[in-house]
């Protein structure tokens, strides 16, 4: 019996290939069409890094929604400032993008308390003929994955320099291996999966699917624990990451590869890159988690540690150190005993050895909220790359610390600097930029430190806000064993500044509103100096918003600081200021006997507010002073006709007529 013949395919090889291609292309085409429809109807979030600034469409500002690329919820993190820059880069302007985590953002301070703002003041003083745009893109709880993405996009906006201060959040920041945000993708496919995940999250289709899942899936947050954890606590998914473990090494490698990508892109675009070494509190921050050697008997170990504590309490540091060195031999990665060894060495006067022990205590800490020394070694090695400079932040802060040990004199807790710490970081970065001429404009001038300290625009309100934020952060885990944190509702304000700080933290007042309220409070007490500082803080925080210059100028006019008020009014007008700004600028020029300079401002004021009798009266004076008598009379006639109670106009009008009559006779 003959074998049964299989039927021949109805498709030729070419048709079969086309059919397979269609099967592949159709789903992709469907996804693209659906994505286009969702974008057409503005579904979901626009996750571009920069968007037009609502105050001025000629400016760009960082898009707060961009955090959704890395976090599951919009309110989990955000930028520390609202720095804006011009779409079209202005002549003689140097544009610097600053990238990093919460320290870069300025936490726990807002706006003017971070090192980028202080660095800008140094650059302005160093290069007085240049304009500077320092755009702070620091965001809390992000790591080098976010920095990498931001850096690539910043290169499209004609930067003169990229500056990076990042690395502390590599383990627990968003998309880190120990983070609750995206660690699944780390374990699933490592760095490649994470980079793909970031791209996919920007699709509106992904956002649609995520919204459906969130609608179906019930929230696991109960009313009892809602809002009682800090972001630091929420993100630390895997608390313990042992030193040199697989997870540890992979994280260091990912950091290195992310920074290497940025270096390559900067080199390709001929943009200088400045990176800073990472500073943390070594002397006064005990390790969060110590991981014991499993072969060591815990009971005997604890007994030995208690004995060492006894020697330390009684000042027998040499004896305690001998016992500690014995423990170190048996527990080579137990962080707490290194911390004790550091303390003993310090009190024995061996400060270099103390620094080594403190550094090891940090590096062996099983809870990795502070970058290990290995990252600083990596960062320093990048200086060998063309176009890359490294600023030795650690070295400068050590030189300004007692016995070279960085502690609570410069740090607020484990890694966030105090105002003086930020001041020194700004100094290190600015001096590197100036001395190495990284902006290509020659070596600038460097003033003594006190000159720059007078240009730190922090107010008592800013200090109250920062103190409350640190109080909340350190009230629970990992600084305390429990996870019940102090909340904003628990705060007990004692001063007007404290009360407004609480209002801001409860979102009852914006940063702008809080400072305006405090300024009005100081004005009611005739405390002009503090009121001025509040308005000056707004000018520094919002340098491209004309209203900030207006409120400052109004007070300066009230207390007779006309010359300074004029400078702020002119700046306000350049940024699109209102009729008042034009009127007062023109009026001050007229008062200074510079009518020709004041006339354009007064004309603009009248154009913006035709029924402003004072503006027209001052304009008539400017016309008269410049010999345009008929125009002066026209303005006065308009006022007399429409505002008969404005007696000054009538007096001036008849004064002009009498002068003309006298000249004829």
Checking if the pLDDT of 630 tops 90, the result is yes
What is residue 239's predicted lDDT score, i.e. its pLDDT?
Answer: 76
Same fold, 298-363 and 460-664: yes
Annotated domain spans of the chain: 95-213+232-281+371-456, 298-363, 460-664
Average pLDDT, whole number, for the chain?
91
Placement of tokens 């006190």 in the chain: 450
User: The tokens 């959704």 sit on which residue?
Assistant: 68
Q: What is the CATH number of domain 95-213+232-281+371-456?
A: 3.40.50.1110
* The two three-digit tokens of residue 427, written as one number: 């100094």
Neighbour tally for 188: CB within 10 Å: 11
Looking at the predicted structure, is the pLDDT value of residue 213 above 90?
no
Share of the chain above pLDDT 70, in %: 93
Greater model confidence, 616 or 232: 616
Q: Strand (E) positions, 353-492?
A: 388-391
Indicate if the pLDDT at residue 664 is higher than 80.
Answer: no
Res. 226 pLDDT band, cuts 50 70 90: very low
pLDDT in tens, 20-30: 677 677 777 77
pTM: 0.91
* Predicted confidence band of residue 222 (pLDDT cuts 50, 70, 90): very low
- The pLDDT assigned to 566 comes to 98
- Judged against a pLDDT cut of 50, whether residue 268 lies above it is answered with yes
Share of the chain above pLDDT 90, in %: 75
pLDDT at residue 38 is higher than 90:
no
Coil, helix or strand for 293? coil
pLDDT at position 11: 56
pLDDT in tens, 459-471: 999 999 999 999 9
Note the pLDDT tens digit of each residue in 378-399. Answer: 999 999 999 999 999 999 999 9
Q: 219 exposed, middle or buried (CB, 10 Å; 0-12, 13-18, 19+)? A: exposed
CATH number at 460-664: 1.25.40.10
Over range 607-613, report the average pLDDT: 96
508-518 residue pLDDT tens: 999 999 999 99
Q: Count of CB atoms within 10 A of residue 613's CB?
A: 18
Element at 100 (helix H, strand E): strand 93-100
Total length of the chain: 665
pLDDT digits (tens, 9 = 90+) for 111-166: 899 999 999 999 999 999 999 999 999 999 999 999 999 999 999 999 999 999 99
Q: Check whether 9 has a pLDDT greater than 70.
A: no
pLDDT of 107 above 80:
yes
Per CATH, which fold does 298-363 belong to? Answer: 1.25.40
- The DSSP bridge pattern shows strands 131-136 and 93-100 to be parallel
pLDDT score recorded for residue 223: 41
Does the bond joining 321 to the residue before it have cis omega, within 30 degrees of 0? no
365 CB-contact burial (10 Å; exposed 0-12 / middle 13-18 / buried 19+): buried
Rounded to whole angstroms, the Cα distance separating 583 from 336 reads 66
Query: Which pLDDT score is estimated for 19?
Result: 64
Query: Angle at which helices 298-313 and 335-347 pack, to 10 degrees?
Result: 20
Residue 163 is inside which H or E element, if any? Answer: strand 161-165
Q: 3-class SS at 58? A: strand
């Amino acid at each position: 019996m003959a074998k049964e013949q299989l039927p021949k395919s109805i498709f030729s090889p070419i048709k079969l290939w086309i059919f397979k291609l269609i099967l592949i292309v159709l789903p992709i085409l469907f996804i693209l069409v659906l994505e286009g429809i969702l974008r057409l109807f503005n579904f979901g979030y626009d996750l571009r890094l920069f968007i037009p600034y609502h105050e001025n469409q000629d400016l760009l500002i960082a898009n707060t929604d961009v955090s959704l690329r890395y976090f599951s919820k919009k309110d989990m993190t955000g930028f520390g400032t609202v720095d804006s820059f011009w779409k079209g880069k202005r002549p003689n302007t140097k544009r610097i993008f600053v990238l990093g985590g919460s320290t870069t953002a300025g936490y726990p301070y807002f706006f003017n308390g971070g090192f980028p703002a202080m660095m800008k003041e140094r650059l302005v003083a160093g290069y007085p003929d240049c304009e500077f745009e320092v755009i702070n893109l620091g965001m809390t709880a992000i790591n080098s994955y976010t920095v990498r993405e931001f850096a690539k996009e910043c290169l499209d906006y004609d930067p003169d320099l990229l500056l990076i201060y990042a690395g502390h959040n590599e383990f627990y920041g968003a998309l880190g291996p120990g983070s609750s945000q995206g660690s699944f993708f780390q374990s699933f496919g490592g760095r490649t999966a994470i980079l793909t995940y970031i791209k996919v999250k920007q699709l509106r289709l992904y956002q649609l699917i995520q919204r459906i899942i969130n609608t179906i899936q019930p929230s696991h947050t109960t009313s009892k624990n809602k809002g009682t954890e800090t972001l630091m606590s929420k993100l630390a998914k895997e608390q313990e990451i042992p030193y040199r473990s697989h997870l540890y090494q992979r994280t260091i490698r990912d950091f290195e590869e992310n920074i290497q990508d940025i270096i390559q892109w900067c080199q390709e675009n001929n943009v200088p890159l400045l990176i800073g070494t990472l500073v943390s509190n070594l002397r006064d921050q005990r390790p969060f988690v110590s991981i014991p050697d499993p072969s060591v008997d815990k009971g005997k170990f604890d007994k030995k540690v208690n004995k060492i504590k006894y020697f330390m309490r009684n000042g027998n540091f040499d004896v305690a150190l001998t016992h500690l060195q014995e423990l170190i031999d048996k527990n080579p990665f137990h962080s707490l005993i290194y911390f004790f060894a550091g303390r003993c060495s310090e009190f024995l006067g061996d400060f270099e050895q103390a620094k080594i022990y403190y550094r090891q205590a940090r590096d062996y800490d099983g809870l990795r909220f502070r970058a290990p020394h290995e990252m600083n070694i990596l960062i320093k090695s990048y200086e060998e790359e063309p176009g890359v400079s490294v600023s030795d932040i650690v070295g400068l802060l050590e030189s300004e610390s007692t016995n070279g040990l960085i502690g609570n004199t410069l740090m607020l807790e484990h890694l966030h600097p105090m105002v003086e710490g930020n001041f020194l970081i700004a100094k290190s970065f600015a001096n590197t930029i100036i001395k190495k001429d990284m902006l290509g404009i020659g070596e600038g001038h460097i003033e003594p430190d006190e000159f720059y300290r007078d240009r730190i625009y922090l107010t008592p309100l800013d200090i109250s806000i920062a103190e409350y934020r640190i109080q909340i952060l350190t009230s629970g885990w990992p600084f305390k064993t429990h996870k019940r944190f102090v909340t904003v509702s628990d705060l007990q304000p004692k001063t007007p500044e404290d009360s407004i700080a609480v209002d801001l933290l409860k979102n009852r007042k914006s940063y702008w509103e809080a400072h305006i309220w405090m300024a009005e409070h100081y004005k009611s007490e005739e405390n002009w100096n503090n009121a001025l500082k509040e308005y000056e803080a707004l000018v520094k925080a919002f340098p491209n918003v004309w209203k900030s210059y207006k409120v400052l100028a109004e007070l300066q006019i009230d207390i007779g600081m006309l010359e300074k008020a004029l400078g702020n009014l002119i700046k306000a007008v350049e940024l699109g200021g209102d009729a008042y700004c034009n009127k007062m600028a023109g009026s001050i020029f007229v008062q200074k006997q510079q009518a020709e300079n004041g006339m354009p401002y007064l004309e603009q004021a009248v154009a913006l507010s035709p029924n402003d009798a004072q503006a027209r009266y001052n304009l008539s004076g400017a016309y008269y002073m410049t010999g345009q008598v008929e125009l002066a009379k026209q303005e006065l006639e308009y006022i007399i006709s429409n505002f008969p109670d404005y007696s000054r106009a009538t007096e001036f009008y008849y004064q002009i007529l009498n002068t003309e009559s006298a000249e004829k006779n």
